[in-house]
Structure 1
């Protein structure tokens, strides 16, 4: 598969033109699933639209350079949908946590696509 710099540039533009809203900070639990703990800040891009009708989801890490590192492409069998999640400023440890967040359940699977 070919690496597409224009894809990453388009994501950069989208994030730069949007406000990142962190509505589920690290350490909080999911509003519907009390056993689900957010281990990295999670939110969305304001005034954008994703497959679930909400804003495009983002994971925001603690790396000083807050650039787009990767995306997670996920399939959720419970909701019967798929989405991408944009990773912004995530350390390798945070990427690992995010990857497991989307793969430790039998009903959700995801792949991590790193930016080169």
Structure 2
């Protein structure tokens, strides 16, 4: 059912009492590429789901899972890859 590896971030607690959700893709070494912030009216909670080592295609597949399969949607907050210049 999950488009990429899915699990929980050890040592964390999310709104639902479990660990913070993590989706891990195939882009080894990319690190945290972004987050999805979701609101689940059925569970009456808001969660942050971490995207680690995900390609752009894998991020899109996670978005489709959240929108089309789970019906909870989510706001994608991508990691800023630009550096500030002074």
Out of 66, 77, 80, the position equivalent to 1:113 is 77
SS in 2 for 1:108: coil
Corresponding position of 1:102: 66
Task: Tell me the number of residue pairs that the alignment of Structure 1 and Structure 2 aligns.
Answer: 80
Task: Give the corresponding residue for 1:82.
Answer: 46
Stretches of structure 2 lacking an aligned partner (at least 5 in a row): 81-86
> If the length of structure 1 is used for normalisation, what is the TM-score?
0.64
Q: For residue 11 of structure 1, what is the aligned residue in structure 2?
A: none
TM-score norm. by structure 2 comes to 0.85
Unaligned 5+ segments in structure 1 are 1-36
Shift of 1:107: 3.9
Structure of greater relative contact order (alpha carbons < 8 Å, 6+ residues apart): 2
Moved over 2 A (4+): none
Does the CA-based 8 Å contact 2:63-2:73 persist in structure 1?
no
RMSD (CA atoms): 1.4
